[in-house]
Structure 1
Amino acid sequence: MPVHASGQESLGEAEEHKDDKTSFLSRKFAGFLRRSSAVNAVRPDDQNVIIPANSIQARIADRRRSSPARIITAVDEEIVFGVKNYAANSSNAARAVNEDRYRIISSLELYGKALVTSDKRVQSYQDALDKQLLECYANEGNVPKMDLKKLAKYQSGTNTEFFGIFDGHGGDHCSSFLALLFPLYLLLTPDFHENMPAAATKACTAINTEILKREEAKQRGGGSTGLVVMIRDGIAYVCNVGDCRAILISKSGVSALSTDHKATNESEKQRIEDAGGMVLYVKGVARVNGRLAVSRAFGDAEHHEYVIAEPEITTHSLSPCDEYIVLASDGLWDVLSNEDVMATIRNHPWLSIDEITQVLIDRAMELGTMDNVTVVIIDVRKR
C-alpha cells in the first residue's frame, strides 16, 4: 500500500528538521519515479534546487512561511500539544471570501486546563464562557500564550483529539463562533468524560441556542454547517450537522462516516414537510422553503423550525486496517466522490498529507467547484 509522510511533527525545531530531511528524500525519489524535470519536490530551505513557482510544493512552502512563529494561544485554529498527525488546508476557491472555518486541538483536556490556568480572571469553563473570554481574546488580540511545560504535568491517560470544519453561509460570523467556542461547549457538558455522543448532542443544542439568541439581538441571519471528529481511546466519534462530510480510508477501501444533510435527502425532506416546511427546486437545486440547500445547520433563525441543529452522531472503532479520516466542506464533495478522494491519496504516495490537501483543493477548482473548500486529513495508521 502507498505510504505517505504523515505530517507528524513535534513543536521542537529538531523534529521539524528531521521531517524536512525525510520529506526531501521522498520527493527526490518521486522525481525519479515520474521522470519529469518539472517536479523537483523539495523544501524551500534546500538552496540547491529550484521549486517551480506554481507547484504544489511552492504553495505549501508559501503557506508555511506566512504562518507566524509557533506560540500557542487559546484562540489558534490549530493547537498541538506534542505530535502533529494531521494536515489541514482551506481556500476561498471560486469565491471572493472564505466563510469556512476549521479548528484542530490535539488534546481537549489540556486545552481546557490551559483556559483556567493561563488567565487569573477565569476559574472554570463556565466562567470562561460567561465572561466571553475567548471572544475578548479574538477581538482584542491580547491573548496569553499557553505554558506547555506547565501543562505537561496535567497530562492524563485520557486524551480527546478534536477536528472540526464549519462551513458558513450568509457571512462568517456563525462559522467563526462555532470554531472558537464549540470545544469549550463540549468541555462544559457533564457527559464529556463518560458519554461523548451525549456530550456532542448537548453541546450542539447549547451553542445553537446561543447563536439564535445573538442573531435575534443583532437582527441578522446566516448560519453554518458543522462537522466534528473526536478521537479518544481508539474510537472516532463523528458529529455532523449539515453537508460537510467525513470518510474513512482503510486498506479495504473507503466508507462514509457521516450523512449529508441536504434538502434532496428523502428522510430530511419528509422531516421538513412534517414540520410545516417545504422543499422547492430553484434553478435545479432543492432548497428548504426555496432558500437553503442544507437541511440542518446552526443559526438560520428564519428557518430554524425546519433547518435544525440536531446532530447525527456515528462512532467507529479504529483498527490496524484504517489509514486516514478525511473531513471536507461541501466545496470538495460537490465535485469529487469518496472514491475520487481515496484515489488521489493512493495515486500520490510520494506527497505528504499536507501536500495532498492542496492537490485535492486544486482538483476541486479544476472541476469547477463554486464554493469554498476546506480539507482535513487525519493519519490514523499508528493508533
Structure 2
Amino acid sequence: MSVAVCSSPVFSPSSSLFCNNKALNISPAHQNLTLSHSHLTPLASSPSAASPTSPFCLRLLKPPVNSVFGSDSGPGDCDRHLSLGSVLKRKRPTRLDIPVAPVGVTAPISLNAETLREESGEVEREGDEFSVYCKGGKREAMEDRFSAITNIERDPKQAIFGVYDGHGGSRAAEFAAKNLCNNILGEIASERNESDIEEAVKRGYLATDSEFLKEKDVKGGSCCVTALIKYGNLVVSNAGDCRAVLSVGGFAEALTSDHRPSREDERNRIESSGGYVDTFNSVWRIQGSLAVSRGIGDAHLKRWVISEPETKNLRINSQHEFLILASDGLWEKVGNQEAVDIARPFCMGTDQKHKPFLACKKLVDLSVSRGSLDDISVMLIPLRRFI
C-alpha cells in the first residue's frame, strides 16, 4: 500500500509536502505468512515425475466451452484461441500494509495467512489477552498500526498494548509500533519508585520521538495511545487523538483527552510558542496543516507538535470490565458510551470465546456504515483476567 492522499482529515489538502507515492517495504522478520500445500505445485524433475500417473504432473486442462480460451471447436482448436488479446486482464488486489509487532518482545505477535484479508485491506488478531481489528479507509495505504507485549517477565498479569494512527505516511506509526512499548518498559525497569511510573512512561514517549527524528528522510507523524498493565495497575497514556475508553460496570469512562488545536489549553500552548491555529474546511489546524497537536514525529512542526503524553493511572477492580483502544476513525463516528454498549454483550457473556473480536469488528463496521473514510483500528482488552 502507498502513502495517504492529500485529502487526509489530518493534513490540509493544500499541504502537498505530505503526499508521496512510496510503497512500504515490509520486512519478513515481522510477519509469519504460511502457505498450505494446496498453493504449491511441484515441478517435474525427471521423466518419471512427469508421467501421467505422477502426482507431480502439470496438466493444462481444456478450457470450458465458449470460454475466453476456447470454444465449441475441437480439441485441436484450443491453441488458436489462446492468445494475449483474448486474455482478460485480472485486477490486482489492494496491497496491504501490515501492522508491525514489536521486535524482541516477551511474546511477539505473529500474523499468519489467516489473519490477512488482502482484498479488503483488513488485519485481525484474536487472543485471550486482547483482540484487534483494523480496516483500511480511502487511502491507498493503511497508516494505522498496533502492538502488544504480553506475559512480561513471565507474568501473565503484566502486559502493554498500543494503537497508532499515522499521518503523512505510515512510517512514524510503524516506528512507534516497533519501539514505543519497549522503550516504556525499559524506562520502567530502571525506575525504582513505582510512584514515578508516569514519569517513566513520559520518558518512553520522548525517547521514541527522539529516535524517530534521527531516522533518515523522516516524514509524517503518528498519534499514539498505550495501556500498561502492571501489578494490578492500569496506566493509560496518549499523544494525539487516539483514545482509550474504559467500561466501568457498563458505564463509559474516557481515560484520555484528544490533543487537538481546538482545545483551549493546546491552542494557548501553540500560540505562546510562536505558532498559530486556524481553520481549514471547518477543521482547526496548526500552521494551516496539521489537525492534531501532539504525537510522534512531525519534524517540520516539532516546535508545536510535542510528543509528551498525558497519563492516567488507576487500580483495576472488579467493576473495570474492558478497555477499548481505538484510532479516531472510530471515535469520529461512534460515541464513548455507544461503543461500550455495543461491545459489552460480546465481552461479558458466559461464553467469551472470540467474542471480544466480534465486538471490535462490529464497532469498525458501524463507523464505516456512518460514512467513515479513515483507517479504523479497534483493540479490546478484557481487564478482569489481569486482576
TM-score by length of structure 2 reads 0.63
Q: Is 2:75 the partner of 1:78?
A: no
**Count of residue pairs the alignment pairs up:** 262
Local SS of the residue matching 1:248: strand
CA distance in 2, matches of 1:300, 1:192: 33
Q: 1:226-237 residue pairs with structure 2 within 5 A?
A: 226-237=224-235
Q: Is 2:307 the partner of 1:309?
A: yes
Cα 1:235/1:304, change in 2 over 3 Å: same
More divergent stretch after superposition (309-318 vs 93-102): 93-102
CA distance in 1, matches of 2:273, 2:200: 26
Q: Tell me the amino acid that sits aligned with residue 88 of structure 1.
A: V
Cα 1:259/1:192, change in 2 over 3 Å: farther
Shift of 1:107: 2.8
Shift of 1:339: 1.2
Cα 1:249/1:268, change in 2 over 3 Å: same
Cα 1:367/1:347, change in 2 over 3 Å: farther
Shift of 1:365: 0.3
State the match for 2:201 in structure 1: 200
Shift of 1:193: 7.5
Cα 1:360/1:77, change in 2 over 3 Å: farther
**Structure 1 runs not aligned, ≥5 long:** 1-66, 110-154
State the match for 2:172 in structure 1: 174
1:30-69: CA deviations, max 9, x gaps? xxxxxxxxxxxxxxxxxxxxxxxxxxxxxxxxxxxxx9xx
Shift of 1:343: 1.7
State the match for 1:367 in structure 2: 370
CA distance in 1, matches of 2:213, 2:263: 25
Q: Is 2:150 the partner of 1:106?
A: yes
CA distance in 1, matches of 2:241, 2:192: 25
State the match for 1:59 in structure 2: none
Cα 1:208/1:316, change in 2 over 3 Å: same
| Native 8 Å contact 2:161 2:227 kept in 1 | yes
Q: Tell me the amino acid that sits aligned with residue 104 of structure 2.
A: A
Q: Tell me the amino acid that sits aligned with residue 211 of structure 1.
A: F
CA distance in 1, matches of 2:332, 2:159: 27
Percent identity (aligned): 31
CA distance in 1, matches of 2:302, 2:172: 14
State the match for 1:269 in structure 2: 267
Shift of 1:327: 0.4
CA distance in 2, matches of 1:339, 1:187: 31
Q: Tell me the amino acid that sits aligned with residue 295 of structure 1.
A: S
CA distance in 2, matches of 1:77, 1:366: 33
Shift of 1:262: 0.9
Cα 1:193/1:328, change in 2 over 3 Å: farther
Q: Is 2:100 the partner of 1:97?
A: no
Local SS of the residue matching 1:355: helix
State the match for 2:253 in structure 1: 255
1:128-167: CA deviations, max 9, x gaps? xxxxxxxxxxxxxxxxxxxxxxxxxxx36x9531110111
**Structure 2 runs not aligned, ≥5 long:** 1-97, 112-126
| Native 8 Å contact 1:168 1:222 kept in 2 | yes
Q: Tell me the amino acid that sits aligned with residue 108 of structure 1.
A: I
Q: Which runs of 4+ in 1 moved over 6 A?
A: none
Cα 1:193/1:372, change in 2 over 3 Å: farther
Shift of 1:212: 1.4
State the match for 2:285 in structure 1: 287
Q: Tell me the amino acid that sits aligned with residue 376 of structure 2.
A: V
Q: Is 2:335 the partner of 1:337?
A: yes
Local SS of the residue matching 1:254: strand
CA distance in 1, matches of 2:320, 2:185: 28
State the match for 2:382 in structure 1: 379
CA distance in 2, matches of 1:108, 1:271: 37
State the match for 1:146 in structure 2: none
State the match for 2:34 in structure 1: none
Shift of 1:347: 5.3
Greater relative contact order (Cα 8 A, min sep 6): structure 1 or 2? 1
Q: Tell me the amino acid that sits aligned with residue 280 of structure 2.
A: V
State the match for 2:220 in structure 1: 222
| Native 8 Å contact 1:191 1:198 kept in 2 | no
Q: 1:40-59 residue pairs with structure 2 within 5 A?
A: none
